[in-house]
Amino acid sequence: MDPLIISLAAFVGATTLVVGIAAMAGAFNTSKAEDRLAVMTGRKRESEAEGMIRDELFLEGKAGLVGLLNRLFERVGRMSLLFQQANSPVRPEVFFGMTAGCAFLGFMGVVLTRSPIPLYPLGALAGSTVPLIWLLLRRRKRFKKFGKQLPDALELIARALRSGHGLASGLHVVVEEMPEPIAMEFSKVYDEQNLGVPLEQALKNMLVRMPNLDLKFFVTAVAIQKQAGGDMAEILDKIGYIIRERFKIMGQVQALTGEGRISGVVLMALPIALFFAVYYLNTDYVMLLFSDETGKKMIGVAVILQVLGAITIKKIVNIKI
């Protein structure tokens, strides 16, 4: 039980550390500018100023730690952009706390099911990926809904242009008439151009948040029209027509590749389900994979083949249009 106790203490310690960092990030939110002005105007004594300096040094150290974590996660997966794209309702520090908590729950789940000790870190790793999977699914759902709303939004802007509105006013019409998430994204574009950001740059910023091929057509068309001129309303109608035709073709492709996608899911899940079934039926037979050197190599090769098979099946059924 010694490895179990050590692992349990490590996860509890990591969870406590993440929660502590999140609490520190939420506290100590004093206004440094007001304190400095108070010292300069004589409303605070030198002793208070020294205390303020010590507090600022502590906050700088804390900010450096949080900044280091943020830079680390930005390099790994550009987490800040991921939160924007998914319109996440939770803050990053809360998300990391959830990740640590799910890792602990995954670890305890493996322990309670009396799985082999080598599976303990795998259970913790699987549990820690649950919040990330939720965030990716939320982003994917938002991207899909935005893509479906885009043709209607372009047609709405085209009608606004024909009725005498400018392009900025057409964007505002989308904000008022369309539901989320497209209303939120166009609202950001409208607000940015009202604050002085060029319209082309504001649209490019939206393209970063929403990497959609059809939206890229719209942004490119606006940039070309600003330089060369032309009937913007007619261009938007043609882009909307192209998008709807692409949706029709994509529906046909999804129907034709449905069997392959289901086969991929079954082939990926079958070895894992078979492993646990044999483990509970004959534990000694499966434990040879972890105790024998050849068995360890077989596990490594199996994992690599599973990953390669998943990538190959995804390449086959994922047809870009």
Which residues are CB-neighbours of 100 under 8 A, at least 6 positions away? 11, 14, 15, 18, 19, 128
Closest by Cα among 187, 200, 212, 209 to 78? 209
Q: Encode pLDDT of 220-246 as tens digits.
A: 888 888 888 778 888 888 888 888 888
**H or E segment at 316?**
helix 293-317
Q: What percent of the chain has pLDDT over 70?
A: 75
Sign of CA dihedral 40, 44, 50, 52: negative
HSE (CB half, 13 Å, CA atoms) of 257?
A: 17
Name the DSSP letter for residue 257.
Answer: T
- Model confidence at 62, pLDDT cuts 50, 70, 90, reads very low
Q: Where are the domains of the chain?
A: 2-133, 142-244, 257-317
pLDDT score at 262: 86
- CA atoms of 37 and 34, how far apart (whole Å): 5
Q: Give the pLDDT confidence score for residue 34 in this predicted structure.
A: 53
| Spatial distance between the Cα atoms of 185 and 203, rounded to a whole number of angstroms | 9
Quick one: pLDDT band at residue 65, thresholds 50, 70, 90? low
70-126 per-position pLDDT tens digit = 555 555 546 778 888 888 888 888 888 888 888 888 888 878 877 777 777 888 888
Looking at every residue in the chain, the average pLDDT score rounds to 78
Closest CA to 178 of 208, 157, 204: 157
Beta-carbon contacts of residue 300 (< 8 Å; ≥ 6 apart): none
Give, for 173, the enclosing helix (H) or strand (E). helix 167-177
* Best CATH choice for the domain 142-244 from the list 1.20.81, 3.30.1360, 1.20.1530, 1.10.3470: 1.20.81
Instruction: Please determine, for residue 211, whether its predicted confidence score (pLDDT) is greater than 80.
Output: yes
Which one, of 163, 162, 190, lies nearest residue 174 by Cα? 190
Tell me what pLDDT residue 138 has. 92
